[in-house]
Each structure stands twice: as structure tokens, then as C-alpha cells.
Amino acid sequence: MVYSVIAVAAALCCLLVAYSAAKLLFKDSWVLGWLRGMFGLALLGLAVLFAFVALDIFSYRQIQKEHMVATLSFEKVKDALFNVTVADEEGNEQKYQIAGDQWQLDARIIKWTGIVANWGVKPGYRLDRLSGRYYSLEQERNADRTVYSFHESRYGVDVWRWLREGRDALPIVDAVYGSATYLPMADGALFEVSLSGTGLVTRPMNDSAREAVGTWR
């Protein structure tokens, strides 16, 4: 909810700046028209930036408490190659093919500190990528690697990266990376990934997954 409000606020800024730019660009008086035009175009550029910031922020969801963010089911194609179905908390499914023996799911997390956290604003998250790796060091160095990104920030407008790079200038917010521990892939295995304010937690959900984890450990 909080991140939707922030996104709406950014979108409103976009509309306000675009309106101001339009007034300057289409005003009848030609006195200082060129300067108005340049300033108006600059405002239009700023409006476009606000629009992409709003889109990027809107992709984040608030963490109320530990809850399921994804389930992953695996189907073996051949040795070190699996079809993976990822379903998010709303039931939307995406299918991937992962090379390797283990899998990992990563998320971007925005944490609030100080007075903002005291106001009750919860961290936000966005699932970031799914990757695989091999047990063998030789395969890890030479075999095909697969990494899939769930979200791409458009035209380089990446709020999370900006916050991470500017963390010293913005002490009230921290952009961190959350990763589930690498776990083995197995035919028929089903895993659930939950997220809390501290990061991602993965749990095996059926016998195939529990057997794979037990054998791996």
C-alpha cells in the first residue's frame, strides 16, 4: 500500500510538471520564448523521469509480515537441466529452464530506518532473479550458466540501485539484496519461498524436495 502511494505521488508529480511544461511551451508571447521553450522541454524530460520512477516503485510490494512470495516446482529434463515453474503470491506462473544442480532465488529489498520505520512504514520487496549453479567446480567454470531476471528497470531508471549507491546521503532508507540459500533441484520437487524483514526463507513442500535437501545436507 505504501509503495503504491509513493508511486501515485510520483505519477502526480509527472502530471504537474508536464502541465507546467505545456503552459510554457504553448504560451502566445514570444518574449523570452526560446528560454521558455528550453525550460519547458527540460520540464517535459523531468516529467518523463518521474513517470519511470513511478513505474519502478510500483513494482515493489510492502512486507507486512513473513509471507509466501513464490513457489517453485521442478521437472527434470536430463542431468543438470530442469524445467522450473515459478508461481508468485497471486498465482501468476512463469516457466524457465535452469542448467545446474542447485537453484537460488534473489529479491531486492528496501528497508526504512529511523523515524520513517517508527511511523510503521514496512520494508518493500521485488523478486529479482532466478539462477542455477553446479556442484562441480569445473562445470561451474565451463558449462552453460542460466540466470533469469524477473523485472527490468526501464531506460536505466532503477530506484533501488540509486538508493544503494546513495545510502550515505539517505540514512533513512537502505537498499539490500536478499537471497535464498542455494538448494538442490530434483524431479518433482516443490519449494515455497517466504520473505520477512530479514530476507528470504525457503522450505521444501513435498517428499521429493525434502529428500533432495536431506541427501544434499
H/E element, 32? none
Which one is predicted more confidently, 214 or 96?
Answer: 96
DSSP state, 187?
T
Amino acid sitting at position 197: G
Q: What is the pLDDT of residues 179-206, one digit of tens each?
A: 777 899 999 999 999 887 667 888 999 9
Question: Lowest-confidence range among 89-93, 96-100, 115-119?
Answer: 115-119
Q: How confident is the model at residue 4 (pLDDT cuts 50, 70, 90)?
A: confident
pLDDT value at residue 28:
59
Q: What is the mean pLDDT of the chain?
A: 81
Residue 210: exposure state from Cβ atoms within 10 A (0-12, 13-18, ≥19) = middle
The three-class DSSP label of residue 192 is strand
H/E element, 46? helix 33-58
pTM attached to this predicted model: 0.68
Domain boundaries, the chain: 2-58, 64-216
Q: What is the pLDDT of residues 53-82, one digit of tens each?
A: 787 777 777 776 777 889 999 999 999 999
pLDDT value at residue 207:
92
pLDDT value at residue 169:
65
Which one is predicted more confidently, 149 or 6?
Answer: 149
Place of cell 502566445: 28
- Report for 86-100, 109-123, 195-209: range of highest mean pLDDT: 86-100
Amino acid sitting at position 3: Y
DSSP state, 123?
P
Residue 24 phi/psi, 5-degree rounding, is -70, -40
Q: How confident is the model at residue 31 (pLDDT cuts 50, 70, 90)?
A: very low
Place of cell 536505466: 156
Q: How confident is the model at residue 134 (pLDDT cuts 50, 70, 90)?
A: very high
